Structure 1
Amino acid sequence: MTKQVKKPDRREYTFMLVPHHGQAGVRSIHVPILAIKCLAAALCLLVVVVIGGVVSYRHTTVTAGMEKAELEQLKQVNGSQVKQIEDLAKSTAALEQDMERLNTLDAEIRHIVNENDNGSTSRAGLTRMTPGSAQYTGQGGPNPPSLEEMGQTLEDLKKNMAAREQSLLALKEELLAKQARAAVTPSIWPANGQVTSRFGYRSSPWGRGSDYHPGIDIASDYGTPIVATADGTVVHSDWSSGYGKLVEVDHGNGIVTLYGHCSQLLVKSGDYVKKGQVVAYMGSTGLSTGTHVHYEVRVNGTAVNPDKFL
């Protein structure tokens, strides 16, 4: 059987160009069908390319829009995180100031109670390691906290520090009040020397049986300093009958102290004196058998045993 060979298509299309009246004759243009097919294929290819370009452009545009939206979202998230970090930094700075204030308050309270901290023991009772004494190098810990956890931790610290500050302030006020009460409460000896008479009934130094002695007598050398036994206001500094030269100090709360038989008075009425301040010198003025100071404590006008305040 003989195989038929396909002959090339030699058909063609004829295009006739008819001019207007008065011009040259009719022209004929012969276009092979193969050329038309090639032109049609080229047009189809061009359409496909154009459509592909449009689709690709639209896809690129959509993708770019999505990427732009994601970028804007990332910018917002980053901006939010930056603000959170800034807020945390401000909160940390505020906490540092709070800690400084609490440390100052703690130091003031320690000064009030005269407490010495040698730094070897912590408030929890654990022994602190001194610098350079570490013998081990083990380290570790959990995963780093998130921003939310850090923020919560800072809030908890703020609340705890506020509570601690209020507690320390209350303690400080209490200690100051206690210190103020102690300052105006007679609690020291008015002078150095030997006690020659106690409070209460005693044998009369003038040989007349016994008499009631409303204070204590402390004898020493002439001119021995006499000090106020508490803070207070001088309400009398002058001669007073059998007391001789007398200093009387009002300490408030109904408590008054008297220092009699002085040789010289160093304060005047209206002066405010501190505990331990020299107010007079020892002598033997008034009704006295020798150099001494008569020390007397009165509560609401009644003489009480000074031993209760020493």
Structure 2
Amino acid sequence: MRVILVSRKQGAQRSVELGRWSRALLSLCCLGLPLGMVGGGYLWGHADAADNLRGEALDSMQDELERQAEELAGLRNQAQSQVQALTVNLAELQARMTRLDALGEHLTTMAGLEDGEFDFSQPAAVGGPLGGEFNVEYGTGDLLAELGLFQAQLADREQQLEILGALLANRRLDEESWVSGRPVEKGWISSYYGKRTDPFSGKPAFHHGIDFAGKEGSNILAVAAGVVTWTGSKPGYGNLVEISHEDGFVTRYAHNKSLLVKAGDVVRKGEPIALMGSTGRSTGAHVHYEVYKHGRSVDPSSYVRRTRR
């Protein structure tokens, strides 16, 4: 292959003879340069696209991390709210349990149960042989379910205790109205019910009550709950208190030094109603105690001895 070179200034020509290897090298240069440019452009464009893809992936990952962070914050707030709700529920349950313990102690006292039989200040006595252990983890939902069950059990227990309390209160009212016991705190029987020798005339006479001798000014007690129907001075009785009770009972307390109640007062069993004296037909400080049932005088001795229905 011959290559002719022409000079622009002198117009002279010069020819160069190229061998086979020279022609190959020249062809390679002529063809390789465009191909290299094309390849370089392709590689540059591919690298730029890869950079763009990497940038988009990083942006997507950043957005996902932010979304997950927001979800985590929401879950944390929700968990805190649930913990607060559980704390409030537990506080309410503890308050209700304290109320149940107090009510149980009150009912135990009212029922007169033995000490230690029902001790609401101690955990319930339970036990049994070893039957295997289970590793159980409670989730929030399980814990809420357990709290709901516990609340239902507490509500049922409260209802039963309230019913028991009402029954015991009714029984207490019955015992309050039950005529029984002595009308004095301290003293001794100086004269019984029935025929006796009159201390003033020395003749046989019928004594319609029981005399309890004691210290002047000591308390005279109501033997049952009731309503005071009469107070004042009465011939032979001196200062007298009369109380009406359930089931047609009426009790009288005579010879009192002074009276602590008046007609219309409601009195409880064991309440002081007068002070012991020796007013009226009396030889010394004592209380003359009478019991009437449906208007008929009865021997108070049987009512003095009994304590409960």
**Residue 215 in structure 1 maps to residue 231 in structure 2:** no
Q: Aligned letter for 2:174?
A: R
**Secondary structure, in 3 states, of the residue corresponding to 2:244?**
strand
- 1:169 is aligned to 162
TM-score for the superposition, normalised by structure 2: 0.70
Q: In 2, distance between residues paired with 1:162 and 1:44?
A: 80
Q: In 2, distance between residues paired with 1:263 and 1:71?
A: 89
- 1:103 is aligned to 101
Q: Say if 1:231 and 1:273, in contact at 8 Å, map to a contact too.
A: yes
| CA RMSD, 1 decimal | 3.7
Q: Percent identity at matched positions?
A: 22
Decide whether aligned partners of structure 1 residues 219 and 93 sit closer, same or farther in structure 2, where only a CA change above 3 A counts.
Answer: closer
In the TM superposition, residue 303 of structure 1 has moved relative to its aligned partner by 3.5
Deviations 1:103-142 (A, max 9, x none): 3323333444465756699575569xxxxxxxxxxxx873
Q: In 1, distance between residues paired with 2:71 and 2:22?
A: 66
**Residue 148 in structure 1 maps to residue 146 in structure 2:** no
- 1:17 is aligned to none
In the TM superposition, residue 83 of structure 1 has moved relative to its aligned partner by 2.3
Q: In 2, distance between residues paired with 1:6 and 1:187?
A: 145
Deviates more, 1:150-159 or 1:185-194: 185-194
Decide whether aligned partners of structure 1 residues 221 and 100 sit closer, same or farther in structure 2, where only a CA change above 3 A counts.
Answer: closer
Q: In 1, distance between residues paired with 2:31 and 2:286?
A: 151
Q: Aligned letter for 1:280?
A: L
Aligned pairs for 1:237-252 within 5 A = 237-252=231-246
- 2:26 is aligned to 10
In the TM superposition, residue 252 of structure 1 has moved relative to its aligned partner by 5.0
Q: In 1, distance between residues paired with 2:88 and 2:214?
A: 66
Q: Say if 2:222 and 2:267, in contact at 8 Å, map to a contact too.
A: yes
Decide whether aligned partners of structure 1 residues 147 and 9 sit closer, same or farther in structure 2, where only a CA change above 3 A counts.
Answer: same
Aligned pairs for 1:174-213 within 5 A = 174-191=167-184, 192-198=187-193, 202=195, 205=198, 211=206, 213=207
Aligned pairs for 1:261-300 within 5 A = 262-270=255-263, 271-274=265-268, 275-277=270-272, 279-283=274-278, 285-286=280-281, 292-300=286-294
Deviates more, 1:108-117 or 1:32-41: 108-117
Q: Say if 2:256 and 2:276, in contact at 8 Å, map to a contact too.
A: yes
Decide whether aligned partners of structure 1 residues 237 and 60 sit closer, same or farther in structure 2, where only a CA change above 3 A counts.
Answer: same
Q: In 2, distance between residues paired with 1:71 and 1:222?
A: 89
Q: Aligned letter for 2:276?
A: Y
- 1:236 is aligned to 230
Q: In 2, distance between residues paired with 1:172 and 1:6?
A: 122
Deviations 1:246-265 (A, max 9, x none): 211234554321012x0523
